[in-house]
Amino acid sequence: MRGTAELIFTGDELLRGDTVNTNQAFLGGRLLELGLFTTHAVSVTDDRKAIAHALVGALLRSPDVIILSGGLGPTEDDLTREGVAEALKRPLDMRDDLLALIAERFRKLDIAMGMSNRKQALIPHGATVIPLVGTAPGFWLDEGGVFVAALPGVPRELEQMWTDTLRPTLVDRFGIEEAVPSVRRLRLHGIGESMLADVLRDIPWRGAGVEIGTQASLDGITLTFSAQPDDRSRARLAELEELVRDILGTKIYGSEDDTLSGIVGMLLRDRNMTIATAESCTGGLLAKRLTDHAGSSDYFVGGVVAYSNRLKGTLLGVSPEILHTHGAVSEQTAAAMALGARERLQADCVIATTGIAGPGGGTPDKPVGLVYVATAIGSDVQVRRFNLFRSREEIRERAAYAALDVFRRRLLDSLER
């Protein structure tokens, strides 16, 4: 059996467009890793009756797990405790141990604790308190065989409570075998969805207890294998992963939460090499991605955003002749930017971008979305041309990811023994 889960979110901000519900994707993904497939996720207003109805409705479908999120704060709009108590017909107990912990937390923060915070120590009868992360306590309980938990809505607090308490509790409760994963995500770049579909069509995965899903986003495609939580299906998943890795090779840049910039950083660190960036159309985004990671100063020395033609000359030494003859968006300019940056910023490698992000500025010869990426490894420069699409934002994001991936593959090729 594959288990099921339901999610209930409370908060007007989720319903009036002020907040995108990232907790739903987080919990859905983490539950799936435990073999628990989320079948319903509902967002309701900050209303006691609405919360109670949502919980009663979920219980009627008898999932294995129900997680509520939000509505555990101190304000009069925080009504999850009351909603759960009403739905389950359990009284709320004032937990003095919890009250003392909350008071202690306020003392440490040197903030006066209001009367309203006292109600945060109320917990449905029979529930287990989840150790505090912020000041909003979560809890979990068993309701006729269904595991019901309530977590705060603040993503940081929710995520930590999941990792520290809820996940181990669920692993224990359902006797989940963690040695062999039942979900595997591979990250791909440089392959289209239709080509990937062709590849997958030839792989004998159907009916073998493993489902496969693909999800395209700006940084490539994520290929998700999810196995039934039994040993045979999991072994099958591992075989399939090996098979797919053989076929797709370096088109797979990583797995699970890997990012292209993180992988590039790791490769540079392994090889004890440094990198610099020379950007036009990506406008700093490439440098930003490379510095997303703690410790990136070990390999990233710096970058130049040469947005104007003048700065392409003064900061990167691109000659007026090149700019005049070939234009700022050209193979020649991209190459000159990379070589100039290598010399002036003194790095082992450079990634340079120049292109037309739009929405204006395109011509029949050089349409919006045309982007040149030059990569230098030592003095060896190569230029790749891309035709990217959609909005300005998407073109810039795609250009930065494409640039990172071109560089990654060159690094793997050039340094293979």
Residue 139's identity, in one-letter code, is F
Query: Which residues from 206-225 bind its own copies, rule CB under 8 A?
Result: 213, 215, 222, 224
Q: Among residues 31 and 84, whose Cβ is nearest to its own copies?
A: 31
Strand intervals (E) in 54-98? 65-69, 92-94
Residue 156's identity, in one-letter code, is R
Smallest distance, its own copies to C-beta of residue 92, A:
25
Tokens 């304000």, residue located: 75
Instruction: Tell me the β-bridge partners of 223.
Output: 186, 214
Q: Among residues 285 and 374, whose Cβ is nearest to its own copies?
A: 285
- Measuring CA to CA, which residue among 208, 243, 214, 244 is closest to residue 227? 208
Q: Among residues 252 and 285, whose Cβ is nearest to its own copies?
A: 285
Task: Give me the 298-317 binding string for its own copies, x by CB under 8 A, dash otherwise.
Answer: --xxxxxxxxx-xx--xx--
Contact region with its own copies (CB under 8 A), list: 80-88, 118-126, 233-241, 275-283: 275-283
Q: φ, ψ for residue 106 (rounded to 5)?
A: -65, -40
Residue 295 Ramachandran class (φ > 0 left, ψ -120 to 50 alpha, else beta): left
Residue 315 in tokens:
């900061």
Which of 133, 263, 264, 287 touches its own copies by CB under 8 A? 287
Distance, CA of 225 to CA of 75 (rounded, Å) = 42
Query: Which residues from 334-393 bind its own copies, rule CB under 8 A?
Result: 344-346, 358-360, 390-393
Residue by residue, DSSP assigns 342-404 as HHHHT-SEEEEEEE---SS---SSS-TTEEEEEEEETTEEEEEEEE--SSHHHHHHHHHHHHH
Smallest distance, its own copies to C-beta of residue 391, A:
8
Task: Give me the 223-262 binding string for its own copies, x by CB under 8 A, dash otherwise.
Answer: -x-x------------------------------------
Query: Which residues from 390-409 bind its own copies, rule CB under 8 A?
Result: 390-393, 396
Distance, CA of 375 to CA of 194 (rounded, Å) = 28
Residue 169's identity, in one-letter code, is T
Distance, CA of 76 to CA of 252 (rounded, Å) = 49
Query: Which residues from 138-167 bind its own copies, rule CB under 8 A?
Result: 156
> Per CB under 8 A, does 127 bind its own copies?
no
Task: Give me the 35-74 binding string for its own copies, x by CB under 8 A, dash otherwise.
Answer: --xxxxxxxxx----x------x-----------------
Task: Give me the 162-201 binding string for its own copies, x by CB under 8 A, dash otherwise.
Answer: ----------------------------------------
Task: Give me the 10-39 binding string for its own copies, x by CB under 8 A, dash otherwise.
Answer: --xxxxxxxxxxx-xxxxxxx-x----xxx
For residues 236 and 210, is the Cβ–Cβ distance under 8 A?
Answer: yes
Q: Among residues 366 and 392, whose Cβ is nearest to its own copies?
A: 392
Contact region with its own copies (CB under 8 A), list: 79-87, 232-240, 248-256, 291-299: 291-299
Which of 169, 255, 259, 291 touches its own copies by CB under 8 A? 291
For 55, counting Cβ atoms within 10 Å of its Cβ (0-12 exposed, 13-18 middle, 19+ buried), the class is buried
Q: Among residues 175 and 295, whose Cβ is nearest to its own copies?
A: 295
Contact region with its own copies (CB under 8 A), list: 144-152, 228-236, 290-298, 373-381: 290-298
Q: Among residues 17 and 364, whose Cβ is nearest to its own copies?
A: 17
For residues 341 and 350, is the Cβ–Cβ distance under 8 A?
Answer: yes
